[in-house]
Amino acid sequence: MTKANLSLNGTDYEFNVIVGSEGEVGVDFSTLRKTANAIAYDPAFGNTGSCSSEITFINGEKGILRYRGYAIEDLAENATFEEVMYLLVKGELPTADELKSFKGQLAEHAQIPDALIKQYQALPDGLHPMAALSSIMVSLSGYYPTTGNDDEDIVRLLAKMKAFVALGYRESKGEAFVQSKNGANYIADFVEMMFGKTTPALEQAFDQLLILHADHEQNCSASTVRMVGSSQANLYASIAAGVNALWGPLHGGANQKVIEMLEMIQNDDGDASKYLDKAKDKSDAFRLMGFGHRVYKNFDPRAKIIKVAADEVLDDLGIDDDETLDIAKALEKAALEDPYFKDRKLYPNVDFYSGIIYRALGIPTGMFTVMFALGRLPGWIAQWKEWREEPKSRIHRPRQIYTGATERKVPPITER
Ligand code: CMC
């Protein structure tokens, strides 16, 4: 095994080097504090591997994303979301028999109790749908106390999630919720619960969107799910934490912010270049939403697929002139030619075009990130499960470098 050496205050230390199945190299610093009485300082964890994982591989320089070895392009073209859920959570694509049985389980658990619907309806008017989803998620532990059998809890949650999303959508439209009628066909059932009818084009669009969002290795929400799960909080509490992390505008909340930004440009004078200048101005907090990624430094493979899907969906819906899409395309073109974005390797990410599709389908902007959460659920579950099944798992507990005041005495109040 290769070793890495560190010289600190005149003493040499040796650390093991670990190499992943795709050749990624990591220095194992798990003994650093014990041996050298120092910690690895890496704010925002850009250089920190928090675990080893067999679930998802990303090569940000080459724009590669694979779930359990299968390229995202291949899965988006040749698999269904049900198969991808199974792949992420169980480790392999299902055989025909396994898929039949999995679909049966999804059907069995697809409905949600009336009490939960009433609970959703009792939430304050105007509450963001991500806050509503998180509160429903965490209260599931009351409706379905965990059984001790993770597989049973997992399939129940996978089956019910689409009902929570459809419930949020119907509530936001002031329409009555419709229970699952066709739970064995996940996507068709979901589309019907949302819109009251389904078409092959709608099913294909949702299947693809959900597959593209299904996992993304140790991102903010997945790491949160692992972190909360590491305290042995139950599945629902861990996933609710992931929902909250996803909500932020720098993560999944970006899809809502992209549309709000495009509409702002449209309502201004449609001039994208003004906003490009704002995004480059360091004294202005404005960022080009849907641009840039911590890991992708070439292109986001999900954005490539979604861009094509956006054109197809608009075509299918007979929308041949969409000003928001035109502004998005003009903004993308201008940014890709601009030295600021080129130098920093800032490209459109998955959220840049997904909002255009959701908007065309009549989904309110506040629901966009909930759609992302529906896709991401199997990924969060797979990450949670992998941690649970890792024999060496311990509670996550980072260290810090303290930079505050050194010890001092509490002065009397009159002297402060
Ligand atoms: N607009 C303008 N400048 C940007 C942007 C942007 N969208 N993104 C990064 N930069 C600049 C940033 O100011 C910095 O410049 P400098 O080196 O001069 O200080 C440089 O690019 C590096 O940025 P960073 O903030 O250090 O990058 P990060 O890896 O910490 O952040 C990011 C990644 C996705 C949070 C960031 O690119 C961003 O805020 N993008 C907009 C929000 C967004 O679209 N988020 C969705 C991410 S994809 C969905 C998901 O997986 O969650």
What average pLDDT does the chain have? 94
- Residue 60, pLDDT above cutoff 90: yes
Asked whether 342 lines ligand 1 (CB < 6 A), one says no
The catalytically annotated residue of 153, 215, 300, 351 is 351
Residue ID of nearest Cα to ligand 1 atom 35: 250
Average pLDDT over residues 201-227: 96
Q: Are the CB atoms for 68 and 87 separated by under 8 Å?
A: yes
CA of 2 to the centre of ligand 1 (A): 35
The domains found in the chain, sorted by start residue, are: 3-49 (2.20.28), 73-392 (1.10.580.10)
The more confident residue out of 322 and 373 is: 373
What confidence tier does 286 reach under pLDDT thresholds 50, 70, 90?
A: very high
Spatial separation of the C-alpha atoms in residues 238 and 381, rounded to whole Å: 9
Catalytic residue flag (residue 12): no
pLDDT 10s digits, 219-242: 999 999 999 999 999 999 999 999
The catalytically annotated residue of 215, 293, 300, 338 is 293
pLDDT 10s digits, 311-352: 888 888 888 788 888 898 889 899 999 999 999 999 999 989
The per-residue pLDDT for 322 is 81
Spatial separation of the C-alpha atoms in residues 238 and 259, rounded to whole Å: 29
Average pLDDT over residues 290-298: 91
Token pair listed for 313:
């969906």
Catalytic residue flag (residue 293): yes
Which of 294, 299, 372 to probe ligand 1 with, by most ligand atoms within 8 A of CB? 294
Spatial separation of the C-alpha atoms in residues 187 and 81, rounded to whole Å: 8
Query: How are beta strands 70-71 and 64-67 bridged, if at all?
Result: antiparallel
pLDDT 10s digits, 102-123: 999 999 999 999 999 999 999 9
What confidence tier does 1 reach under pLDDT thresholds 50, 70, 90?
A: low
Q: Helix 81-90 to helix 96-108 angle, to the nearest 10 degrees? A: 100
